[in-house]
Amino acid sequence: METTKVALIGFGTIGTGVAKILLEHADRMQKRTGRKVELTHVVDLDLTTDRGVSMPEGVLTDDLQRVLDDKEVTVAVQLIGGTDQARTVMLQLLESGKDVVTANKALLAQHGEELFERARELGQSIAFEAAVAGGIPIIAAIGQSLAANQFLSIHAILNGTCNFILTEMEEKGINYSEVVAEAQRLGYAEADPTMDVDGTDAAQKLTILAQLAFGAVVDWKEIPRIGVDQVDLDDMHYADELGYAIRLLAIAHLSDAGLELHVSPALVEKGTLLADVKGAFNAIRVIGDAVGRVFFQGLGAGQDPTASAVVGDLIDTIVGRAQLTFKTSNLWSSENGRAPVRDPNEIEGCYYMRFNVDDRPGVMAELTGVLGSHGISIASVIQHDVGRCSVPLVIMTHRASAGAVASAFAKIKSLDCVHDDSVCLRVHERPE
Amino acid sequence: METTKVALIGFGTIGTGVAKILLEHADRMQKRTGRKVELTHVVDLDLTTDRGVSMPEGVLTDDLQRVLDDKEVTVAVQLIGGTDQARTVMLQLLESGKDVVTANKALLAQHGEELFERARELGQSIAFEAAVAGGIPIIAAIGQSLAANQFLSIHAILNGTCNFILTEMEEKGINYSEVVAEAQRLGYAEADPTMDVDGTDAAQKLTILAQLAFGAVVDWKEIPRIGVDQVDLDDMHYADELGYAIRLLAIAHLSDAGLELHVSPALVEKGTLLADVKGAFNAIRVIGDAVGRVFFQGLGAGQDPTASAVVGDLIDTIVGRAQLTFKTSNLWSSENGRAPVRDPNEIEGCYYMRFNVDDRPGVMAELTGVLGSHGISIASVIQHDVGRCSVPLVIMTHRASAGAVASAFAKIKSLDCVHDDSVCLRVHERPE
């Protein structure tokens, strides 16, 4: 039986999960690939920390050059985080003739165009199932299984940390900062959770999905994004009263006007698939012109679910499928067409707004006057008597453009009768 | 650009959907495969019915031999239903050197072993994404994307007709026969819906999943199955009162004792993913040792969703992925190992039982005595005063073996104090 030699670059949480499967389930790897799969190098600067994996002598090294020089290593699993060193290593691996599997979404969102182009020139492949939604096989689904479809939309919960935070706030009635502290304690949130909670992580993943499903080439920094750090417990309560949950949604929606892309906390009708996603799960609802609606839910992070995706790609690469997929999918290539991305200000939607206003006559007229002058009509209003001189006023709008809404919202915030802590959130429309 | 010539055998509902995508979206097929995809033959005995597809001259034929003789046709889509003629045609296609895509689950459940063995001998491939759960890419997920995992269980709703019937009964409070008539009117149920409603269809699909995920070789006729035709509106009401919905579940569950396989209507806790599946949708919850729980939902039948899966396989075959998958997955091969299937009588579970009993002292003692003598303990009892001399008695049991439950149930039914229409259903256990 032939042997495929594999190198692992980055021996952190995910790398440890991958190494465990390769070393502890060698029989499974052999059965799935029809070959012997040998982990020959694990490269990391930290050679001392015990990861709980029993490694054969000489495999662990801090010298990447050993991998680059070993022509018998044909597949490399690249699990270095960040974008600078990861890019350099990725290029080195490709240039030394290795097919690469990676889980690094920031790297692909930032340098996908360069890396894929280089891989194509060199005749190597890049597989990246683990880069989006961890264990959920969404890259294979969109790129291969559902390839008969013209995709119409993707509505997704792509950050488990944010979903954990939102659903904990919702269920336990505790505020944002307390939940973040709890998430950090449980290991669901990083010590510095900024990239998760401000929507960066979801926007990077959406960039990859938008390329895969729609051929859109977009700088993730240009995707409008609002993080869950903008969500207040009060808004959860009003949303609940109105029949909605709040979820951080990453949306790609194709229409005749182009492709709409954004990441933001949105009011999602209770009882729908996306509103029902609880805890650290990810979920993706894809609509294709033939298949209709397909929904996926699973763990989007964590050692084992991410290792499942990485090793799935590794099997695909060893078997030779990944190379065929890479070649025909032409990602980030001009041959793939480039779907036009819509001006975010033109995107229409319904909105939820909350203001703290003076409790006196004329205030409602003043606010609704601003909305009216921006062409925004009101669907419903909630104002409870809370017995204070400043009262919360919640307004649900009919469809309006994001630009008009942003302008009206800024204008209302500047009114003397409106106090701090104003909030404006999208309302997710349930598609037909 | 090279051309791949494709033949379509069977021009019914699905075949029409497939032909539409190939003919109306030739550009899409070319983009996804990097080749020109030409539909050269469509074989059907009915040459006259207008399917609403504009077909090039000479493509539609009733002569299969033309396909078999045309060595330029390298891929055939085999959409003939049933198992006899379909088997013959499948073998002919393979023997004439074609890779085959099929949606026929009955054929694979019945003749999978023979067909896959023959295809291996001939060096051809069989792809069958559309055979299970229509548009949901579950075959690719289990066979490829999640291949790093040892699968632990599959809990699935695999028959959209049955799910439509159950959820209509539940939501509208109308009884089984009325809903079946409605389903037939809407096209969700066949004129003769027996294969759907008696669990045959789900058992055949489960046979395929059990082979794919667990290497189990099982005759679908040996999978214990109960159909939705056994579900009464009264049981829906009691289930609801107890916090459950009723769904037709196909279950494969691996334990140290072997693989548990069965199809039956089961009480599923409300608020869970499977209980929330409404209408004609299919859903599959897979648990793997690395990925944890992954959930898929989508349309399991219908022209376009099924055509999506068939054309996805066709793209895979044209690109060359399907052949690699076929070769390494070794389905229905002795090399794939054969997971031992458990004796159905030994499978443990909790049960819901409903009896119509005489409303007199001693009856409860008599029934519970039978359960006790079979080692079955009771979790809860519902008995409402309905002001009749015969009253319904609902018993929820703790875990007990299927054999003990069947024996106790038969014994109780034979008691003088118990009248007709007794019901025994499994209660789905929510896994950890």
Residues of chain A positioned with their CB less than 8 A from the CB of B314: 148
Burial of B241 per CB tally in 10 Å (0-12, 13-18, 19+): exposed
Mutation for testing the A interface, residue in B6, B214, B287, B291 having most A CBs under 10 Å: B291
Beta bridge partners of A140: none
pLDDT score recorded for residue B431: 59
Yes or no, beta carbons of B34 and A320 under 8 Å apart: no
Tell the residue number behind the tokens 């539909």, with chain if given. Answer: B39
pLDDT score recorded for residue A429: 83
pLDDT score recorded for residue A387: 66
What angle in degrees, to the nearest 10, is found between the helix axes of A321-329 and A105-122? 90
pLDDT score recorded for residue B186: 85
A424/chain B closest Cα distance in angstroms: 30
Yes or no, beta carbons of B309 and A292 under 8 Å apart: no
Mean pLDDT of all residues in chain B? Answer: 94
Yes or no, beta carbons of A144 and B312 under 8 Å apart: yes
Nearest CB among A137, A276, A336 relative to B141 is that of: A137
Model pLDDT for residues B388-430, shown as the tens digit of each residue: 778 899 999 999 999 999 999 999 999 999 998 899 999 998 6
Percent of chain A having pLDDT more than 90?
A: 90
Which segment of A93-102, B19-28, B337-346, B373-382 scores lowest on mean pLDDT?
Answer: B337-346
Yes or no, beta carbons of B291 and A28 under 8 Å apart: no
pLDDT score recorded for residue B387: 66
Residues of chain B positioned with their CB less than 8 A from the CB of A171: none
Taking residue A56's Cβ as centre, other Cβ atoms within 10 Å add up to 11
Residue A130 corresponds to which tokens in the numbers above? Answer: 């683990």
Strand residue runs (E) in A256-367: 258-269, 281-288, 292-299, 348-358
Nearest CB among A140, A304, A327 relative to B145 is that of: A140
Mutation for testing the B interface, residue in A294, A314, A327 having most B CBs under 10 Å: A294
Mean pLDDT of all residues in chain A? Answer: 94
pLDDT score recorded for residue A386: 67
Taking residue B337's Cβ as centre, other Cβ atoms within 10 Å add up to 12
Taking residue B347's Cβ as centre, other Cβ atoms within 10 Å add up to 21
**Whether domain A345-427 has CATH 3.30.70.260:** yes
| pLDDT above 80 for A337 | no
Please enumerate in sequence order all residues whose Cβ is within 8 A of that of A335, keeping only pairs 6 or more positions apart, or say none. Answer: none
**Whether domain A3-134+305-335 has CATH 3.40.50.150:** no
Domain boundaries, chain A: 3-134+305-335, 138-299, 345-427
Segment B172-192 shows an average pLDDT of 89
Residue of A nearest to B144 (CA): A312
Percent of chain B having pLDDT more than 90?
A: 90
Mutation for testing the B interface, residue in A29, A291, A296, A330 having most B CBs under 10 Å: A291
Yes or no, beta carbons of B144 and A312 under 8 Å apart: yes
pLDDT score recorded for residue A20: 97
Residues of chain B positioned with their CB less than 8 A from the CB of A214: none
Which segment of A133-142, A407-416, B358-367 scores lowest on mean pLDDT?
Answer: B358-367
Residues of chain A positioned with their CB less than 8 A from the CB of B27: none
Cβ pairs A/B, distance under 8 A: 178
Q: So what's the ipTM on this one?
A: 0.96
Residue of B nearest to A323 (CA): B321
Instruction: Please state whether the predicted TM-score (pTM) of the whole model is above 0.90.
Output: yes
pLDDT score recorded for residue A338: 73
Model pLDDT for residues A227-259, shown as the tens digit of each residue: 999 899 999 999 999 999 999 999 999 999 999
Nearest CB among B147, B290, B296 relative to A305 is that of: B290
Helices (H), A128-159: 138-140
Q: What span, in angstroms and rounded, lies between the C-alpha atoms of B200 and A269? A: 36
pLDDT score recorded for residue A274: 96
Model pLDDT for residues B18-75, shown as the tens digit of each residue: 999 999 999 999 999 999 999 999 999 999 999 999 999 999 999 999 999 999 999 9
Percent of chain B having pLDDT more than 70?
A: 98
Mutation for testing the A interface, residue in B16, B308, B334, B336 having most A CBs under 10 Å: B308
Homologous superfamily, domain B344-427? ACT domain (3.30.70.260)
pLDDT score recorded for residue A154: 98
Strand residue runs (E) in A310-370: 348-358
Residues of chain A positioned with their CB less than 8 A from the CB of B305: 290-292
CATH class of the domain defined by A138-299 = alpha beta
Give residue A431's pLDDT band: very low, low, confident or very high (50, 70, 90): low
Model pLDDT for residues B335-372, shown as the tens digit of each residue: 776 778 999 999 999 999 999 999 888 899 999 999 99
A409/chain B closest Cα distance in angstroms: 37
Model pLDDT for residues A55-79, shown as the tens digit of each residue: 999 999 999 999 999 999 999 999 9
Higher pLDDT pick, A389 / A398:
A398
Give residue B17's pLDDT band: very low, low, confident or very high (50, 70, 90): very high
pLDDT score recorded for residue A432: 41
Percent of chain A having pLDDT more than 70?
A: 98
* Cα atoms in the 13 Å half-sphere on the side-chain side of A361: 0
Strand residue runs (E) in B18-166: 36-43, 60-61, 73-78, 99-102, 126-127, 151-157
Residues of chain B positioned with their CB less than 8 A from the CB of A309: 145, 148, 291
Yes or no, beta carbons of B328 and A273 under 8 Å apart: no
Yes or no, beta carbons of B144 and A276 under 8 Å apart: no
Residues of chain A positioned with their CB less than 8 A from the CB of B299: 291-293
B311/chain A closest Cα distance in angstroms: 6
Yes or no, beta carbons of A321 and B144 under 8 Å apart: yes
Show which residues of A are catalytic. Answer: 205
| pLDDT above 50 for B432 | no
Yes or no, beta carbons of A21 and B290 under 8 Å apart: yes
Show which residues of B are catalytic. Answer: 205
